[in-house]
Amino acid sequence: MTGRRRLVNGYRSWLYPVLARTDPERAHSLALKSLGVAGSTSMGLKWLAPTLDERLVVQCFGLRFANPLGVAAGLDKNGEAVAGLLKLGFGSIEVGTVTPQPQQGNPRPRVWRFTEERALINALGFPSQGAAAVRKRLVGRQFPGVVGVNVGKNRSTAAEEAAVDYVAVIDALWDVADFFTINVSSPNTPGLRDLQRRETLLGILSQVMEQNRRSARLHDKPERPVLVKIAPDLTDDALDEVLSGIVDGEASGVIVSNTTIDHTLLNRATNQLPGGLSGRPLKALALDKVRKVRQRVGASLPIIGVGGIENAADVIERMRAGASLVQLYTSFVYGGPALPGVIVSDLLEFVEREGLSSINEIVGTEDP
């Protein structure tokens, strides 16, 4: 057993049970602050990071990812621990969701743990310090990985004005982000998922892309990749509709998927808790959606797979189904800071065992 794997087991056996006695949001805040401090030092957390290897590099959206494993949006909403998380071995991080103006989100309690099932339910509702605060943390800094920003609208903004909010965040953060994700799929902001309808999404993407072009001209740099994050609960017809909007709106890729409102995936009653379910129970549903998206769009639209990613086998399965990259969040809560290093090291062992020149060779190789 490697040292990192021992640390994961030790975290699960000793440290997590202590954290589990703390309010989920307070524990999360303490962990982010610790990662923020560690990431700001010269050595920081490098001893936990796996060895870099060109065979794990993924070129996607015109960006170079050191490996396919990323941090999903929601873990670091305000860009407080970007360097620390990347030093753990992640190839990328998606900060956010970021709203134009600060907002508190929904009333507490709004996060619930389901430890035995490695799951969370959250009804956060985009608590955000706002684009200006995130900018202060990112501007002028070089990070050891790709940094994206997940963009949302303020709760007080009417759905028909959502594009104004998305544009405002992109305008504020364009020069400090490598890519942007348009979040139209969180279940915790009323009416947000209605923005996945084709014509509505096309209208949003039209304004977002225009801002992207303006910012690119202003900074004399190429346009940023713009992705769209979709819900796992879409019917087949609704999936066709949102993908039509994504393709026709010339988005660079799709993130599959956000949290699910189907709490029956848990093996216990949730007493009608609000919010979205993430973690292990979401795995099968999210994997199925990746397969369906790949079947519909082929290789023309890169996919980032999210939902129930816990280990290297899950990463490999999601990539074979069609994802070029993956992201995790909930398993990091339960696995601790050594988990990304374990996963990336295991991916390298897989590449060596299979005699692959690049992990990209497995993308979309699953038999239909």
Q: Among all residues, which ones are annotated catalytic?
A: 186
Sort strands 111-114 and 119-122 into parallel, antiparallel or unpaired.
antiparallel
> What is the enclosing helix (H) or strand (E) of 244?
helix 236-248
C-alpha dihedral sign at 313, 315, 316, 318: positive
State how far the Cα of 113 lies from the Cα of 235, in Å rounded to an integer: 28
User: Virtual CA dihedral for 296, 299, 300, 302, nearest 10 degrees?
Assistant: 100
For 114, 254, 273, 294, 363, the CA distances from 269, given in Å and listed in that order, are 11, 32, 9, 33, 37
Q: Which pair of structure tokens corresponds to residue 277?
A: 């379910």
Sort strands 92-98 and 146-151 into parallel, antiparallel or unpaired.
parallel
- Number of H-type helices and E-type strands within the chain: 12, 13
Query: What is the amino acid identity at position 110?
Result: R
H helical segments located in 152-197: 162-173
State how far the Cα of 17 lies from the Cα of 249, in Å rounded to an integer: 46
